[in-house]
């Protein structure tokens, strides 16, 4: 996977996993775009450490 896509991929996977957890718990889905926007900066910081 290209390093420049790691942050977006990580954010997206986390959104999907949290949506699955909510579904299994009988809860509503989150606003995926808002959650992705919130998670992306943290994943960008992590991806910046990858060579």
Full residue range of the structural domain in which residue 28 is found:
3-47
pLDDT under 50: residue ranges of the chain: none
Element counts in the chain: helices (H) and strands (E): 2, 0
**Who contacts 32 (Cβ-Cβ below 8 Å, separation ≥6)?**
15, 19
28 alpha-carbon distance from chain centroid: 17
**Exposed / middle / buried, residue 8 (Cβ in 10 Å: 0-12, 13-18, 19+):** middle
What is the predicted pLDDT for the residue at 38? 98
Helix residue ranges per DSSP H, the chain: 6-24, 32-47
Number of domains in the chain: 1
Instruction: Return the pLDDT at 51.
Output: 74
DSSP 2: -
């Amino acid at each position: 996977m290209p390093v420049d896509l790691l942050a977006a991929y990580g954010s997206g996977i986390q959104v999907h996993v949290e949506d699955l957890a909510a579904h299994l718990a009988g809860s509503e889905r989150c606003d995926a775009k808002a959650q992705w926007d919130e998670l992306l900066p943290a994943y960008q910081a992590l991806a910046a450490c990858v060579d």
